[in-house]
Structure 1
Amino acid sequence: MFERLLPHMRVKTIYDIDLHALKEQGMKGIITDLDNTLVGAKVPLATPELVKWLDVVRDLGFKVVIVSNNNETRVSKFAVPLNIPFIHAARKPWNRAFKSALAVLDLPAEQTAVIGDQMMTDVLGGKRMGLHTILVHAISPADEGIMTRFNRLLERVALSRLRKKGLWPEEDRK
């Protein structure tokens, strides 16, 4: 059961993702979480480094959509200046938002990666939809809301079980 929380790839930050390798694997689209994936949960706008990364992503031909469980005000203030489509109040890990994101991208699941910082929402939801899942470390865990903190507790339980099964290396702590 806990194997459903195993991402296809684990990296420290989005900047550690080998975008060329992702493209070689046949990926054409990226569904990305916002808070603690692209920027800290309390950071209102994209950093210059993130803007540059998004330019590289687009230059490589990837289509991008932000899928966030956060509210419309938060997500739109971030996404609109970047000209990135978004889905707010996504209720990840449920399928509806991921299906909507695939429709926005006009791509099938097997050509789409999902990037996020939570196993319980981003990885589980992505794997349920057949997406390539990439787990990043949370940028600013101290700024997380109550539901995310609860999810982190569940993640710790899952990680413990995965480590006992030898599926998550001990030195690779989240």
Structure 2
Amino acid sequence: MSFVEPERYFSRISMIDIQKDILDAGFTHVLLDIDNTILTRDTHEVPRDVSFWLSKARSAGLTFCLVSNNWHEGVYDLARRLDLPIVAKAVKPLPPAFLVALRKIGAKRKTTVMIGDQLITDVLGAHFLGMTAYMLQPLVEQDLKHTLLLRNVERAFMGDREPEGASVQAAEELSDESSAQAINQG
């Protein structure tokens, strides 16, 4: 595995099997990005499947710390709503914020996985410290201008790599669309 590639690449966080992909892999702690990972960039909402996954993961005993380059009050509000510790203004991929996050939750690097939607900030930041990184497709395509530039770099490294769960997610979306059309026609 290349230093600039994630160990795993998923279509969204709800496609990560908590038992198989996290606990059985030896992880008990998760550093978690916010924007476009668990919070949509366009509507600033946590999708229902993401909320359910977080709840299920916490019930399974996983410990989380949010790590975000964002500095707005909204990330602190989200951390309070989710009752999770946060390291904001992180300046990812630089190591200090990752180290602060690990200390906040009493985690070791080898038992912690970083989950985020950006190769340059989340994956490289984790890899600088020898940690495992799972990358997600962004929840929505809308992004900040500087992030859109970084997405071009990501495409160069990721190529046409298909995220795990993409076909399942597409089938679910198609099913939801069909159900909505049936209701509207009925």
TM bucket normalised to smaller = 0.7 to 0.9
Q: Which residue of 2 aligns with 1:139?
A: 139
Query: How many residue pairs align between the two structures?
Result: 163
- Give the AA of the match of 1:91: V
Report the secondary structure of 2:3's partner residue: helix
- Give the AA of the match of 1:114: M
Identity %: 26
- Residue 156 of structure 1 and its aligned partner are, at CA, apart by 2.2
**What's the C-alpha RMSD, in Å, of the aligned pairs?**
1.9
Report the secondary structure of 1:61's partner residue: coil
Report the secondary structure of 1:4's partner residue: coil
Q: Which residue of 1 aligns with 2:16?
A: 17
Note the alpha carbon deviations across 1:27-60, whole angstroms, 9 max, x for none: 0100010011112113334344333221111111
Q: Distance in 1 between matches of 2:120 and 2:7?
A: 14
Q: Which residue of 1 aligns with 2:95?
A: 95
Q: Does residue 125 of the first structure (1) align with residue 115 of the second (2)? A: no
Report the secondary structure of 1:5's partner residue: coil
Q: Which residue of 2 aligns with 1:62?
A: 62
Q: Which residue of 2 aligns with 1:163?
A: none
Match of 2:162 among 159, 163, 172: 172
Q: Any stretches of 5+ residues in structure 2 without a counterpart?
A: 167-186
Change (3 A) 1:67 1:90: same
Question: Counterparts of 1:72-87 in structure 2 under 5 Å?
Answer: 72-87=72-87
Change (3 A) 1:156 1:50: closer
Q: Which residue of 2 aligns with 1:167?
A: none
Q: What TM-score results when the alignment is normalised by the length of structure 2?
A: 0.81
Question: Counterparts of 1:33-48 in structure 2 under 5 Å?
Answer: 33-48=33-48
Q: What TM-score results when the alignment is normalised by the length of structure 1?
A: 0.86
Q: Distance in 2 between matches of 1:147 and 1:132?
A: 25
Q: Is the Cα contact below 8 Å between 2:40 and 2:46 reproduced in 1?
A: no
Q: Is the Cα contact below 8 Å between 1:45 and 1:78 reproduced in 2?
A: no
Note the alpha carbon deviations across 1:102-150, whole angstroms, 9 max, x for none: 10110110000100111011011111112221011011122x1122112
Q: Which residue of 2 aligns with 1:7?
A: 6
Q: Is the Cα contact below 8 Å between 1:8 and 1:134 reproduced in 2?
A: yes
